[in-house]
């Protein structure tokens, strides 16, 4: 008997029993199986294509925290914040973080922005601690705080641009050697096949 585990590799292999595998039968001419496979492929293809289109759309959108670490508060230079993060594109998200009860987010037109006037607001949000707004079309967006802080600079003007076109695919590498294959078996492969089968 061998005292070491290394001896295991030098002992001859003797299988304890033989294993037989069941034979698989495929009927490739069955039209009902073919139709069933086509229907199944269609059912799987549509959700996959929807997933691809949704994931490419989501991948193109950016999320911006308005004011970065200073959030949506008075005495923050939001013009400098916009200059730091632009361009903004359709599909991007603006997230406003604020102190509940102290601030709100009001979307207004240009006149409302210039005059800090929320009387003709487009939308107004003051619940919770944050508000997420998606830029859903190209053009100008204006936001103010209607609780008196607008005069202290708590207002934001954003220009939303269309998505840039996708970048072109990378060019192929310089010419590389190609293998020439023939459907005719070579003399060497026929010889090796005949040796193995005999």
Report which of 106, 143, 101 is spatially closest to residue 123, judged by C-alpha positions. Answer: 106
| pLDDT score at 163 | 87
% of the chain with per-residue pLDDT over 90: 50
What is the C-alpha to C-alpha distance for residues 123 and 129, in angstroms, rounded to an integer?
17
Residue among 82, 61, 71 nearest 159 (CA): 82
Rounded-to-integer distance, Cα 120 and Cα 141, Å = 14
pLDDT at residue number 35? 72
- Of 37-51, 65-79, 80-94, 152-166, the one with minimum mean pLDDT is 37-51
Domain map (residue ranges) of the chain: 60-161
pLDDT band at 29 (very low <50, low <70, confident <90, very high): low
Answer yes or no: is pLDDT of 145 > 50. yes
pLDDT at residue 139, as a whole number: 97
Structure tokens at 96: 């406003």
Q: What is the mean pLDDT of the chain?
A: 76
CATH number for the domain whose boundaries are 60-161? 2.60.40.420
């Amino acid at each position: 008997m061998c005292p070491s585990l290394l001896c295991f590799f030098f002992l001859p292999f003797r299988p304890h029993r033989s294993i037989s595998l069941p034979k698989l039968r495929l009927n490739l001419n069955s039209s009902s199986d073919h139709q069933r496979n086509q229907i199944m492929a269609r059912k799987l293809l549509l959700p996959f294509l929807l997933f691809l289109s949704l994931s490419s759309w989501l991948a193109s959108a950016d999320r911006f925290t308005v004011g970065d670490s200073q959030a949506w508060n008075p005495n923050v230079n939001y013009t400098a914040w916009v200059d730091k993060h632009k361009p903004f594109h359709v599909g991007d998200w603006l997230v406003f973080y604020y102190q509940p009860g102290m601030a709100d987010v009001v979307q207004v037109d240009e006149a409302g922005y210039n005059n800090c006037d929320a009387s003709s607001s487009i939308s107004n949000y003051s619940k919770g601690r944050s508000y997420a707004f998606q830029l859903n079309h190209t053009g100008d967006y204006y936001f103010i705080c209607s609780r008196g802080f607008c005069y202290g600079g708590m207002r934001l003007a954003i220009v939303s641009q269309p998505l840039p076109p996708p970048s072109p695919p990378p060019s192929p590498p310089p010419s590389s050697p190609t293998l020439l294959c023939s459907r005719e078996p070579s003399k060497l492969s026929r010889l090796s096949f005949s040796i193995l089968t005999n």
